[in-house]
Structure 1
Amino acid sequence: MSDTQLRFVLRPAVYTDLPAVERIAGASPVGVISLPRSREKLFDKIAASQAALSSEVSGCGEESYFFVLERSSDREVVGTCAIVASAGFDEPVYHFRNDTLIHACRELNIHHRVHVLSLCHDLTGSTLLTSFVLDPQYRFGSTAELLSRARMLFIAAHRQRFSDHVVSAMLGPCDDEGHAPLWDALGRHFFGIDYPLAEFYCGVKGRSFIAELMPQHPIYVPLLPPEAQDAIGQIHPFSRLPCEILMREGFDTERYVDIFDGGAVVQARTEEIRTVAQHKQATVRVHPLGSAAAEYLIANLELSGFRACIARAAFDALKGEVWLAEEDCVRLGVVPGASVVLAPL
């Protein structure tokens, strides 16, 4: 059965999801540090999310929100995603910034532009989208849109909790054995450890050691081996789907890359993200749907009870009403007269 025939609900992760989340983390590639292969850290991730969802928040702070995608038929968890309200709240978030240095000599009539990578923490304080992992059998269809874009509806519904700027780091080129061209050419010389171990330290111990060991001066890209140069700004096959979804949402990839594997870092102004900009709030009405219905991404306005799904609905923009089937109201945990947010699928 294809995912177009199945129904899914995105909801906050709870403690009983830990075994499923652990299974998903274990199947993800090396380098996905936002879903570490550590039962203790995954438990802490769920705990931090539960605490954030139960807190009264009036601004963008240290909160993180962790979600799972549940198949409605048997409640099996098939994917995860997360939002960090303010990246680097406790410690800076480091990236390489793509810069250009000008080398010029008037006497020799030379004017040369050189690509350099500059260590920075420009994106500290941005809202961070992380932990997008989806069962491979559902990566070709609208289920991936739900897993990624439901986070934008959560941000839109609780706008005060998030930054004016949103970023997401894509996994860069690396092989199954954990060899990353950029790391092998650069990071290994300063850290003295393999790429998988460096990513593990980031996921479990944090990133404070980066500033202590990484070179503070610009890295001249032409001095790197060709394969390392080619890796800069590229995306691992695992991250192509989430990156494509975010690019359709209006994110761009021009400025920053990951300091370990060189993967692209995508960014956007929050209000310019397609789902945030186009979302509408509407009052729920229950009725059997006719031919006028279309598919929408819909979510309730709850925190710990947040639910999002893809459903056929009839939206009346003039009245601010959305007509849903009763079974979809059940999936969303709403009753007639409740408010929801929705965006075109």
Structure 2
Amino acid sequence: MLVLRPVQLTDLPQLQRLARESLVGVTSLPDDSERLRDKILNSCVSFEQNVRNPGPENYCFVLEDSTHQSLVGCCEILATAGFDEPFYSLRNRHFNSASRELNIEHGVPALSLCHDLSGHTLLRGFHIDPRLAKTASSELLSRARLLFIAAHAQRFSDTVITEIVGYSSDEGHSPFWDAVGKHFFDLPYAEAERLCGLESRTFLAELMPQYPIYVPMLPQAAQDCIGRIHPDGQDAFDILEREGFETNSYVDLFDGGPTLFARTGNIRSIAQSQTAQVKPGASIDARGRYLVSNDSLGNFRAIVAELDYLTGQPLVLDAGMCAALGVAEGNQVRLIAL
């Protein structure tokens, strides 16, 4: 059985393996043991703190194959993007110019460096074993974070964003980076993303051009990358799009990948999830597949389960499900259909 839970320090070796396997562009997963150790310790502190309003907390989760005691995925929630330092992105909007004498008005799309998205809750660090992509396991890894937000709403903003990894070739080349960022850093795309993961995107962003970049002046290959998703990031995009997330006018400043945005209260797994009391049972006449989580904090757990559920009735879980979730008779769980 696959179980989503908070990361632990003992997960460090396997978390680094996941970081090594993740897409270039997932900068919150650096392949560096010290940085990952700090991330785990920071996450542990975040789960332990008594939080009434969202701050700098970072909640890191891992997807564990309990049968083989191995990690097959990971994800994070940063409570407040830009809390400690500006959260930079590129705003993609039209720049309008007009001439009364010539009776001409023209709009040109332009990219402007900004930190407009600071203050939103940020979903990041999504990575899953490629063999589990586009399965219920992907849904569990991505959407269980939303059940956690539903259970602990005071810890998060009323808006949620996520950056989807933009296009790069199999060799790690990004046409967008080559046309924009490389001129200011003289670094390959993969190396810039690696430095961003090891240090901070702030020092890189501060060297980016401070004036608008007019899109028509970029090579066509770079223009085509604006808002384009890396093929391996499509699964993550599709899951959140079904949750009600929408693209907006912001893109990643390194690869031009799209940013998704949603009002927290409108997200499907938050707005439509239900709570029920647990009733242990020996067997279940399953009639649907659900995401199920407890409402715990540090002991948060989530699974995918075949269930028979009627609104307002106790939820029958077998012994394996109860053990995986760490719940007993009368405890409350949260669930939503896949």
Normalising by structure 1, we get a TM-score of 0.95
Match of 2:13 in 1: 19
* Letter of the 1:130 counterpart: R
Please tell me whether the aligned partners of residues 30 and 176 of structure 1 are also in contact (alpha carbons under 8 angstroms).
no
SS at match of 1:316: coil
* Letter of the 1:274 counterpart: R
SS at match of 1:231: coil
Match of 2:38 in 1: 44
Match of 1:3 in 2: none
C-alpha distance in 2 between matches for 1:123 and 1:246: 18
Match of 2:317 in 1: 324
Alpha-carbon shift at residue 241 of structure 1 (Å): 0.5
Match for residue 139 of structure 1 among 133, 139, 156: 133
Q: How does 1:209-288 map to 2 (within 5 A)?
A: 209-288=203-282
C-alpha distance in 1 between matches for 2:335 and 2:134: 22
Alpha-carbon shift at residue 281 of structure 1 (Å): 1.5
C-alpha distance in 1 between matches for 2:34 and 2:286: 49
- Report the count of equivalent residues: 338
Alpha-carbon shift at residue 85 of structure 1 (Å): 0.6
SS at match of 1:182: helix
C-alpha distance in 2 between matches for 1:186 and 1:231: 12
RMSD over aligned Cα atoms: 1.3
C-alpha distance in 2 between matches for 1:17 and 1:275: 27
* Letter of the 1:307 counterpart: R
C-alpha distance in 1 between matches for 2:48 and 2:195: 29
C-alpha distance in 1 between matches for 2:171 and 2:232: 15
C-alpha distance in 1 between matches for 2:232 and 2:39: 22
Alpha-carbon shift at residue 107 of structure 1 (Å): 2.2
C-alpha distance in 2 between matches for 1:285 and 1:212: 55
Please tell me whether the aligned partners of residues 312 and 324 of structure 1 are also in contact (alpha carbons under 8 angstroms).
no
SS at match of 2:333: strand
C-alpha distance in 2 between matches for 1:141 and 1:170: 19
C-alpha distance in 2 between matches for 1:171 and 1:185: 17
Alpha-carbon shift at residue 200 of structure 1 (Å): 1.7
Match of 2:333 in 1: 340
SS at match of 2:206: helix
C-alpha distance in 2 between matches for 1:135 and 1:208: 30
C-alpha distance in 1 between matches for 2:337 and 2:154: 23
Please tell me whether the aligned partners of residues 287 and 306 of structure 2 are also in contact (alpha carbons under 8 angstroms).
yes
* Letter of the 1:341 counterpart: R
* Letter of the 2:54 counterpart: C
Q: How does 1:286-305 map to 2 (within 5 A)?
A: 286-291=280-285, 293-305=287-299
Match for residue 108 of structure 1 among 102, 109, 120: 102
C-alpha distance in 2 between matches for 1:140 and 1:158: 27
C-alpha distance in 2 between matches for 1:254 and 1:91: 22
* Cα distance per residue 1:202-234 (max 9 Å; x no partner): 111112213431112111000000000000000
C-alpha distance in 1 between matches for 2:332 and 2:284: 22
* Letter of the 1:168 counterpart: T
Please tell me whether the aligned partners of residues 313 and 325 of structure 1 are also in contact (alpha carbons under 8 angstroms).
no
Alpha-carbon shift at residue 292 of structure 1 (Å): 5.7
* Letter of the 1:138 counterpart: L
Please tell me whether the aligned partners of residues 91 and 207 of structure 1 are also in contact (alpha carbons under 8 angstroms).
no
C-alpha distance in 2 between matches for 1:256 and 1:245: 19
Match of 1:190 in 2: 184
Please tell me whether the aligned partners of residues 175 and 225 of structure 2 are also in contact (alpha carbons under 8 angstroms).
yes
In the alignment, structure 1 segments of 5+ residues that lack a partner are 1-6
